């Protein structure tokens, strides 16, 4: 990552926040710089550019909806004045009235059409919208020109509104790294910027603080929350001399770490760099209308021109005004309003339906890509499992009640601050209240020893029992989960397993995805491979790999992509952010997920239910169906009316129907998505009655 001073970083962040990003998931390294941030930002699909944002001097309205609202009011008022044939509302007054209404919503589109000419991008929807609406004004159909441009603008605003809900500050991604660190030099402690720390320096990390730099633990043991790097729910205990990485959170006591890597070379810094690099490689899907306009627009303009010129040579009673009128009607009819409005609204309908289901799409193109995926790769902890460390099983020796064992162990664990001990205490609850506990000794890296209700109790790992010469069954060593082994009065008494349980809908997720046509379901996890394989088998997942670092996950995903799979990755931790960015569609768990992953993702499941992935697929398919219904409706009607217009058989009334009428029908069809029921499992969505 580039070396930035705090002042430089703040400058870049403030500049980046001003970028009007349509695709929040498509942040590139260049977009973090003032130069790139200052450039006009395009639509979430390559080739489909919005009109450039207004300069500060032009933004006399702060609300983006204000121009459209003002235009609508003027249009409705003008129609009323026309209807009642008000005396003053004629000629120049009428033209000025509708002209103002038109410019409120149309001047950016016209400006964009003009500005695109020098770059060679002449034939786009901006040009066709400009020609069609100005053509309507040329033949005196002012309300038509205003309405067409207003509908187009409203459609763009609707889509922008959906995307804007997904915008989050990029600051969360960059502030994951610690901004200051306590360094011990010459017996003195000083607080420095992590960039100023030298290799070999010793840093201090207090309980609850993030480790700022990679290094080795010089004063152990210590317990760390490693979720930022591995996604593993269970805390890790490190002994003196073991590696500690930046991004880990110290959970217990003051520790010291000998620095072995500079600020820019830490594992966490590499994760953040991977996020930016992977995002820059994300493929974009062009909307159909953009591709089509490149061919459709020049053809329409050429035909309109020929409609004026050719009759001069073949018609005896040629009248220029007559054929000019027909050409302008032809242009109005050919205006792709039903497409440029209903297609974004169709996608907006899908985005809205998804939002109601607790699913947030950051761009319409991700609806298309999600429908096409054949592979789903998921993280384990926090995605398919609850991400909460809890007691899963209590196994007591014959003759001992599990409740009695829990009571003794739980009471002893109240004297420890270790996360596993806290999970046991939380599970035992009030059952341990009032129990007398004394003579407690904490053996580092082993567990606890003490007297509970007058009985000597050991609670910890198997090394603790071995230390005190307590034998235990060999099968205890085969337990996959984290384990608390107990002995009472020098005899083995049983054990507790502490693990992360699958979410209630995890199996349903796998079942629905497979029924929905997903051919490959994979789980990648930073947790122990034995635990990962057990969870995968329990949920019926095809392939699973555990013990992975972020770069390992990225390597697997890249291999699947190289093999031709269309892939979605689902994750929640900071460690998942690079892979979320690398996938064709990145999906984040938004309830408990990290800000970095949510920021990077293309789709956010706000309820943290993995079964929503299948729901999102059903919504994507329904949206695709409705959008293509609108496309064929628009093409069919316009083809007929275009032929009639060229022959002089269609007037502006038919043009209005072919343009505004079809657009209205298409919009109503698009809105229908909002009323569909997507809760049916394994079935196609059906309309609500």
Give the helix/strand (H/E) hosting 392.
Answer: strand 390-396
CA angle in degrees (0–180, nearest 5) for 121-123-127: 105
Task: Identify whether 572 is a catalytic site residue.
Answer: no
- Residue with token string 């890296």: 445
* Residue 376 near residue 568, CB atoms below 8 Å: yes
Nearest CA among 291, 304, 292 for reference residue 334: 304
171-175 CB contacts, 8 Å cutoff, 24+ apart? 171/13, 171/17, 172/595, 172/596, 172/599, 173/272, 173/275, 173/577, 173/595, 173/596, 173/599, 173/600, 174/9, 174/13, 174/272
Which of 160, 379, 500, 595 is catalytic? The answer is: 379
Cα(199)–Cα(353) distance, rounded to whole angstroms?
53
Tokens of 308: 């004026």
Q: Other CB atoms closer than 10 Å to residue 661's CB: what's the count?
A: 17
Q: CB burial class (10 A; 0-12, 13-18, 19+) of residue 147?
A: buried
- Sheet containing strand 236-238, strands side by side: 236-238, 222-225, 249-250
Helices (H), 484-528: 506-515
Quickly list DSSP for 223-278: EEE-HHHH--SS-EEE-TT-EE-TT-EE-SS-EEEEE-S-GGGSHHHHHHHHHHHH
Query: What's the sign of the alpha-carbon dihedral 30, 365, 572, 590?
Result: positive
Question: Which DSSP helix (H) or strand (E) runs through 308?
Answer: helix 288-314
Number of CB atoms found within 10 A of residue 25's CB: 25
Q: Which residues pair with 482 in a beta bridge?
A: 498
Respond yes or no on whether the N-terminal peptide bond of residue 221 is cis (omega within 30° of 0).
Answer: yes
Closest alpha carbon to 578 in 513, 535, 654, 524? 524
- 645: three-class secondary structure by DSSP: helix
Judged by DSSP in three states, 580 sits in: helix
* 585: phi then psi, degrees, rounded to nearest 5: -130, 120
Residue written as token pair 């095809």: 542
β pairing state of 520-524 and 543-545: parallel
Both structure tokens of 618: 């059903």
| Separation of alpha carbons 574 and 567, rounded Å | 20
Q: Decide: residue 608, CB within 10 A, 0-12 exposed, 13-18 middle, 19+ buried.
A: buried
Give the three-state DSSP class for 513.
helix
Distance CA 677, CA 689 (A): 10
Answer yes or no: are the C-beta atoms of 431 and 406 closer than 8 Å: yes
* Active site residues per annotation: 379
């Amino acid at each position: 990552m580039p070396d930035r001073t705090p002042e430089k970083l703040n400058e870049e962040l403030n500049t980046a926040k001003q970028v009007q990003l349509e695709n929040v998931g498509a942040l590139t390294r260049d977009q973090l710089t003032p130069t790139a941030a200052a450039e006009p930002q395009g639509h979430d699909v390559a080739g489909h550019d919005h009109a450039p944002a207004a300069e500060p001097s032009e933004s006399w309205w702060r609300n983006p909806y204000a121009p459209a609202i003002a235009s609508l009011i003027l249009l409705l008022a003008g129609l009323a004045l026309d209807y009642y044939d008000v005396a003053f509302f004629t000629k120049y007054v009428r033209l000025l009235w509708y002209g103002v209404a038109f410019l409120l919503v149309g001047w950016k589109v016209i400006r964009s059409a003009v500005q695109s000419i020098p770059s060679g991008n002449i034939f786009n929807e901006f040009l066709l919208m400009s020609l069609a609406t100005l053509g309507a004004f040329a033949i005196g159909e002012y309300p038509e020109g205003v309405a067409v441009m207003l509908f187009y603008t409203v459609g763009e605003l609707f889509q922008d509104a959906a995307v804007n809900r997904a915008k989050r500050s990029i600051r969360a991604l960059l502030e994951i790294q610690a901004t200051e660190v306590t360094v011990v030099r010459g017996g003195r402690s000083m607080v420095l910027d992590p960039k100023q720390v030298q290799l070999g320096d010793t840093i201090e990390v207090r309980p609850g603080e993030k480790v700022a730099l990679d290094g080795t633990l010089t004063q152990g043991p210590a317990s760390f929350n490693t979720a930022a790097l591995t996604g593993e729910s269970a805390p890790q205990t490190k002994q003196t001399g073991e590696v500690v990485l930046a991004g880990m959170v110290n959970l217990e006591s003051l520790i010291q770490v000998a620095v072995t890597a500079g600020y820019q070379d830490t594992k966490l810094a590499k994760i953040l760099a991977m996020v930016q690099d992977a995002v820059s490689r994300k493929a974009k899907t062009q909307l159909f209308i953009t591709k089509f306009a490149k061919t459709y627009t020049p053809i329409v303009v050429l035909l309109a021109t020929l409609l004026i010129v050719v009759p001069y040579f073949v018609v005896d009673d040629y009248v220029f005004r007559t054929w000019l009128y027909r050409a302008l009607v032809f242009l109005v009819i050919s205006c792709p309003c039903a497409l440029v409005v209903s297609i974004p609204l169709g996608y907006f309908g899908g985005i809205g339906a998804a939002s109601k289901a607790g699913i947030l799409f950051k761009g319409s193109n991700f609806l298309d890509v999600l429908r096409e995926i054949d592979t789903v790769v998921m993280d384990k902890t926090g995605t398919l499992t609850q991400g909460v460390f809890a007691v899963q099983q209590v196994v007591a020796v014959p003759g001992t009640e599990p409740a009695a064992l829990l009571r003794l162990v739980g009471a002893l664990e109240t004297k420890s601050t270790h996360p596993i001990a806290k999970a046991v205490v939380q599970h035992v609850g009030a059952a341990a209240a009032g129990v007398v506990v004394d003579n407690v000794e904490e053996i580092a890296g082993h567990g606890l020893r003490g007297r509970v209700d007058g009985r000597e109790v050991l609670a910890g790992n198997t090394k603790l029992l071995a230390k005190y010469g307590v034998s235990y069954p060999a099968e205890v060593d085969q337990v996959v989960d984290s384990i608390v082994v107990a002995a009472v009065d020098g005899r083995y008494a049983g054990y507790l397993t502490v693990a992360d349980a699958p979410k209630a809908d995890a199996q349903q997720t796998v079942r629905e995805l497979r029924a929905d046509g997903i051919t490959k379901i994979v789980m990648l996890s930073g947790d122990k491979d034995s635990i990962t394989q057990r969870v995968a088998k329990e949920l019926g997942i095809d392939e699973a790999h555990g013990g992975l670092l972020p770069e390992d996950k990225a390597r697997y995903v890249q291999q699947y992509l190289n093999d031709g799979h269309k892939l979605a990755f689902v994750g929640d931790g900071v460690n998942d952010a690079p892979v979320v960015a690398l996938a064709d569609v990145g999906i984040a768990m938004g309830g408990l997920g990290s800000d970095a992953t949510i920021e990077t993702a293309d789709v956010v499941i706000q309820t943290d239910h993995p079964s929503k992935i299948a729901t999102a697929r059903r919504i994507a398919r329904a949206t695709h169906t409705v959008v293509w219904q609108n496309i064929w409706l628009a093409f069919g009607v316009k083809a007929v009316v275009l032929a009639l217009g060229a022959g002089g058989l269609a007037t502006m009334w038919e043009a209005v129907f072919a343009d505004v009428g079809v657009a209205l029908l298409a919009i109503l069809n698009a809105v229908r998505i909002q009323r569909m029921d997507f809760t049916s499992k394994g079935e196609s969505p059906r309309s609500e009655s």
